[in-house]
Chain A
Amino acid sequence: MSPAGPGERVAAVALSAPRPWPWGVAAFSAVLLLLAYVASVLVLFRNGIGIFGNNIPVGWGFPIVNIAWWIDLGHGALLLAAGAVLAGDRWPAISRVSESIALFAGAVGGSFAILHTGRPQYIYFLFTYPNTLDQWPQWRSPLMWDFFAIIAFLVVALIVWSVGMLPDLAVLRDHAKGRGRQLFYGLLALGWRGSHRQWAAWSRARTVLASIAVPLAVISTGISALDFAGGISAGYHSTLTPVDAVAAALATAAGMALTVAVVLRRTFALDDLVPVTELETLGRVLLGSALAVGFFALYEGYMAWYGADLFDRYSLSQTLTGAFAPWYWTWIALMVVLPLSLAWRSLRTSPWLLGTLGLLANVGAWVDHYLVTVTPQERGFMTSAWRDFSPTAWDWLLLCGSVGFFVCLLLLQARLLPVLAVHALRPTGQEAGHG
């Protein structure tokens, strides 16, 4: 009997692989957190945003931090996925993991876009529709641009994910045992048979979609950053913010992709299908984008000092040595300093170190979003209006619950769908294109 090929092994993960005990622990924890998310949402809809720590002047609290964090993660992942396609579509883990992260992070972030209003029944006010009030959205506001950017991003992320998944679903169909599963995967695969015309159409669509996804991810990240940069608060008003946000989004996505890929390859014994060289590629992306984030941090600090604006300088001093210093240095440590260790090849080829650094970079990214969103509001232009922000238990519960929501989606995908991009793998003897 010939040894199982790469496609058969990936299919077996969804179809027949035994679930190791860490899987059970992860699934149980994720479902618990998902329940916490659902409970928080129900309480939010019943009581409104008064359950959060938002106050005057800090109107943008955790919900906005969470939207920006999740959506930027999604944008970065879409950029990563598109880059992988344009670079030859030969990385099974980078492709599948980053496409999934883009979609799932977008879904979770999109839910916050509805939740943060506290009045989900009025979310349709953001749409353009003829109405009896004869009113329209304010088109000059980046917040309005952001609404459309999120919609466009979610649609394109869904298309990129589903097109990438299509031939791999046919692999599952061909290996499925039992009529029910064959029908399930057969319907999802739309009757894909791998003809040369189908591959040509598919490859062309992948390339076109990647070419669309790159500018979309960059523009969308820039637009969400303009929500802040368009404001006049010291700490918000920076021309570099949109560019900085793209670098940070890419670092966050590379970090998350590393964490997920390392866990997947170890849990399902796919180490040989996801070689260390592939993880190293992600490590390089994390290193490069972390360097860019570090550069922007230095440059923004320098400009705040060089600009000689009283409020900018005060904001800088508070960030570097004042009340916000713990947040700032935590961010710098997790997202800039620690990833610099990947400059050493011996560290860059250690899967667990890569996964850990990736996870820490994501924590750092959340801290960065907190720092950018909340602290400028706490110290505004009028000292009489200064007030600290203090998150409530519901703030933390919804944040942790959203992580559970995201992990649940990843686990569900691993349980039902191909965990690696089979089309990027070559059967034994044809490894030339892989690597």
Chain B
Amino acid sequence: MAERLLVVAALTSADALAGAFDAAWRAGHQRLEALSSHPLPGLRDPSRPRRLTGELGVGVVVAGIAFLIQYYAAAWAYPMDVAGKPAQAWAPLVPAALVLGLMGAGIAALVSMVREAALPRLHHPVFDASRLDLGDEQCYILAIEVKESELPQLRPWLEGLGAEEIQEVRP
């Protein structure tokens, strides 16, 4: 089986990185990442954006469970007569259910982010690119995973896109 390499190329600007990322994607490279110290609005992410169904679903389920627990307690397990108000009244059960539903959706958003961002991953091969300073805010990096045999063609291609420093690391 052919050895795979992670080719890490430093570009000079955010625009250059966005352009190189786009070109690499169109050239058929699908295992690639653009790394930067801040979000890049100009970068077109070809991966399909996720919908909000996960967070919404968790929020609705949590709110529903909270509502049912309250209803069970207020109407069935311990019906308390407070100034003749009906034990089955649903309106007073909404506020707690609503805030707990929002909390559930918030937790789901956190879990979803951690999962999508593939965190925690304390070590990644890109950290082994010793000649690149990931802490530099002007450092814009394109990382492409390729077969070792593709390297001779990839290097000049990346240099043509404006890459200044190119390094290979084992994934």
A→B interface (CB under 8 Å)? 5-8, 128, 134-140, 142, 144-145, 148-149, 151-153, 155-156, 159-160, 162-163, 167, 171, 174-175, 186-187, 190-205, 208-209, 212-213, 215-216, 219-220, 223, 422-423, 425-428, 430, 433
Contact = CB atoms under 8 A, between A and B. Distances in A.
A4 B103 CA distance: 40
A432 B117 CA distance: 27
Contacts of A433: 41
What are the nearest 8 A-B pairs in CB distance? A174-B135, A205-B113, A201-B116, A152-B103, A136-B73, A190-B120, A427-B137, A5-B137
Interface residues of B, number: 65
A212 B113 contact: no
A136 B112 contact: no
Given A140-B82, A191-B122, A197 B110 contact: no
A427 B78 contact: no
Interface in B102-126: 102-103, 105-107, 109-110, 112-114, 116-124, 126
A212 B78 contact: no
Which of A7, A152, A196, A197 is packed against the most chain B CB atoms within 10 Å? A196
Contacts of B143: 195
B110 A163 contact: yes
A386 to B, nearest CB: 26
Interface of B: 14, 21, 33-41, 43, 45, 47, 49-50, 52, 55, 59, 66, 69-70, 73-74, 77-78, 80, 82, 85, 89, 92-93, 95-96, 98-100, 102-103, 105-107, 109-110, 112-114, 116-124, 126-127, 133-138, 143
Contacts of A175: 135
A294 B107 CA distance: 37
Contacts of B135: 7-8, 171, 174-175
A197 B100 CA distance: 30
Contacts of A199: 36, 38-40
Given A128-B69, A190-B120, A197 B47 contact: yes
Given A8-B135, A136-B73, A140-B92, A155 B39 contact: no
B120 A136 contact: no
Contacts of B98: 219
Given A186-B122, A205-B112, A194 B36 contact: yes
Contacts of A196: 21, 33-36, 40, 43, 45
Contacts of B134: 174, 193-194
Given A139-B96, A194-B37, A208-B105, 20 more contacts: A128-B69, A134-B77, A134-B78, A135-B78, A139-B70, A142-B95, A151-B103, A152-B99, A152-B100, A152-B103, A159-B107, A191-B122, A193-B124, A203-B39, A208-B52, A212-B59, A422-B38, A423-B39, A427-B137, A427-B138
Contacts of A427: 37-38, 137-138
Given A7-B37, A191-B121, A197-B45, A155 B113 contact: no
A152 B102 contact: yes
A220 B112 CA distance: 25
A171 B37 contact: yes
A188 B77 CA distance: 45
A205 B137 CA distance: 23
A193 B141 CA distance: 11
Given A138-B80, A156-B103, A196-B40, A430 B14 contact: yes
Contacts of A425: 38
A139 B126 contact: no
Given A139-B93, A186-B122, A204-B50, A156 B117 contact: no
5 contacts: A134-B78, A149-B99, A195-B143, A200-B47, A212-B106
Contacts of B112: 201, 205
A197 B122 CA distance: 16
Contacts of B80: 138
Given A193-B124, A198-B119, A425-B38, A136 B96 contact: no
Which of B36, B41, B135 is packed against the most chain A CB atoms within 10 Å? B135
A430 B41 CA distance: 12
A156 B102 contact: yes
Nearest to B59: A212
A197 B40 contact: no
Which of B110, B119, B137 is packed against the most chain A CB atoms within 10 Å? B137
A136 B85 CA distance: 17
Contacts of A212: 55, 59, 102, 105-106, 109
